[in-house]
Amino acid sequence: MNPVDKIVALALKEDACLEDVTSKAVLPPHLLAEARITARQRLILSGSFAAARVFGMIDPAVSVEFNVKDGAEANDGEVIAALSGPAVSILAGERVALNFLQQLCGVATLTRRFCEAIKGTSARIVDTRKTVPGMRLLQKQAVVHGGGANHRMSLADGVLIKDNHIALAGSIATAVLSAKRRAHHLLRVEVEVEDLDGVREALDAGADAILLDNMPLEMLAAAVKLIDGRATVEASGGITLENVLDVARAGVHLISIGRLTHSAPACDISMDFVA
């Protein structure tokens, strides 16, 4: 079973989709119907594959055709997908499919807003590991659909030394030097710092990338100047649509934003049957 099917299977089990007592009690089992999934706001589509798999795993007799591709914009009132097949099967998957679409379109749409806000700069918007448990793969795909890029998918993907690592290791230098000695040669070492002294210590220790955490804009700009191209520069913490352009203009390479996945507003999407 592929990773998306595993996620969908858990969602179907959670909602007991094969035991929809309401639809089975109200409707004849062989009633055929057509339905439309409609955007009720302007949005960036994401999650079409997961939504289609919801119905495919419930009943292969349900046909699902998306009119909008992931990563494309849909307007308020636009039909993004058409469905046909047994009515009870469509109803069984309605809520789960909409849950996927509403959440993932929300991530993609918010990501697109941040990407548009820094258009014209060289910075990139990236996500974090602050994802809904079990939904990381789909949420990170949604970030890409919105125009952003992915940070680490998991703890296995790269060395990122954070404040708790530093506290336990004793210092930034000790943590960085230890990581560069123990990690295999294909792994870059990034370290999180909170002030200019931390930047200097990270540079002296040979960090490949430096994460500037929750720095005021003036300090952020000074840190970029101090680093002067000797390491990849990432900014994180307190990033909003109102200040992201200023952060990008400070000269950072990456801007990581947790709210892309942990706080993106769900999009308004509905499903209605065609009379």
DSSP assignment, residue 264? P
Task: Please say if 130 is a catalytic residue.
Answer: yes
Written as six digits, the tokens of 17 are: 């989709």
Selecting among 15, 59, 95, 129, the annotated active-site residue is: 95
Selecting among 36, 130, 152, 200, the annotated active-site residue is: 130
Task: Please say if 162 is a catalytic residue.
Answer: yes
145, 141, 68, 139: which is closest to 112 by C-alpha? 145
100, 104, 103, 96: which is closest to 143 by C-alpha? 104
Distance CA(162)–CA(169), nearest Å, equals 11
205, 233, 204: which is closest to 219 by C-alpha? 233
Task: Please say if 192 is a catalytic residue.
Answer: yes
Collect all residues with Cβ–Cβ distance below 8 Å to 67 and sequence separation of at least 6.
Answer: 78, 79, 80, 81, 82
Selecting among 20, 70, 190, 213, the annotated active-site residue is: 213
Dihedral of CA atoms 122, 145, 152, 187 in degrees, nearest 10, equals: -60
Question: Whole-angstrom distance between the N-terminal and C-terminal Cα of the chain?
Answer: 36
Collect all residues with Cβ–Cβ distance below 8 Å to 139 and sequence separation of at least 6.
Answer: 103, 104, 107, 127, 131, 132, 261
Selecting among 13, 24, 40, 162, the annotated active-site residue is: 162
Selecting among 127, 192, 201, 208, the annotated active-site residue is: 192
Where in the sequence numbering do the catalytic residues fall?
95, 130, 162, 192, 213
